Structure 1
Amino acid sequence: MPLQIMKLAITADSTIGTFPTVERFFNEAEAQVVGEGTLTIAVDDFWTDTGADATTLPELVADNSYINVYVNGVLQMDDLIAYTPGGTGVGQLVISVPADSTIEASSPIVLVVTNFAPTSDTTIIT
């Protein structure tokens, strides 16, 4: 018999689900912020999708989450953002405004928090 690569006779079927949970929080800048400056928004200064006052900013699931911040409809760079999850008196969003930049008064600020609860199921058939 000639040389050959020996293989296992195995097949596998996998099902993977991502199951995202998306939470959106809204704010309007109360005053103009000129760079170099910061805009700090406490959790209780945000509104939820229903228009109710926010009471908590969600924890980020390790390796399965991300946030996006929009100022006046424009996605902002990650290094300008500091996010602290938590309830009233704890949770906040801090936006660093670089030199030569401005956040105008009444600009909408939108925080989008996405957490994933991934699942996987693999069936191995021998």
Structure 2
Amino acid sequence: MPLKIIKLAFPAETKLSVTPSVGRFFYETKETAPGGTTLQIDVSEFLDDTGENASEFPELNLDNSYFHVFINGVLQMEDNFAYTSGGKDIGNLMMLVPEGSEVASNVPIILEIVNFDPSSKNIAE
């Protein structure tokens, strides 16, 4: 008799859950940032959703996160920004102001950070 591979077969279901975590941070420029300059805003200069000074930026989960920057309510291109997570001495948002542009004083800048926490559970029936 030839050899056989015996395979167990039983029904199973996988439940997938994705939980978003959203953080929004608010800043108002203090002076005009002309084109060709880099504007660095430290985490402690931002306000959080409660109106308190932010103490730390969340770390971005690899392949499960993104951040958006809005200037005066307008979504900006990602390549103009660098985001560094961490506490008051580390976390910051750096913005390269392109030539021919400027960011005026008293303009709101909003940083939105979204992390996703996916999980799965196998349920055998």
Please state which band the TM-score falls in when normalised by the shorter chain. 0.7 to 0.9
Deviation at 1:72, TM superposition (A): 0.6
| CA distance in 1: counterparts of 2:30 and 2:94, whole angstroms | 14
User: After the TM superposition, which residues 3-82 of structure 1 pair with which residues of structure 2 at under 5 Å, given as runs?
Assistant: 11-82=11-82
Root mean square deviation of aligned Cα: 1.5
Provide structure 1 residue ranges, at least 5 long, that are not aligned to the other structure.
1-7
Residue identity opposite 1:104 in structure 2 = A
| CA distance in 2: counterparts of 1:12 and 1:36, whole angstroms | 58
Partner of 2:5: none
TM-score, L = length of structure 1: 0.86
Deviation at 1:122, TM superposition (A): 3.0
TM-score, L = length of structure 2: 0.87
Residue identity opposite 1:36 in structure 2 = G
| CA distance in 2: counterparts of 1:69 and 1:37, whole angstroms | 17
Partner of 2:113: 113
| CA distance in 2: counterparts of 1:44 and 1:90, whole angstroms | 10
Runs of 4+ in structure 1 displaced over 4 angstroms? 8-12
Deviation at 1:9, TM superposition (A): 6.5
Deviation at 1:24, TM superposition (A): 0.5
Partner of 2:94: 94
| CA distance in 2: counterparts of 1:12 and 1:96, whole angstroms | 51
% same residue: 43
Provide structure 2 residue ranges, at least 5 long, that are not aligned to the other structure.
1-7
Partner of 1:5: none
> What is the number of residues matched between the two proteins?
118
Deviation at 1:63, TM superposition (A): 1.3
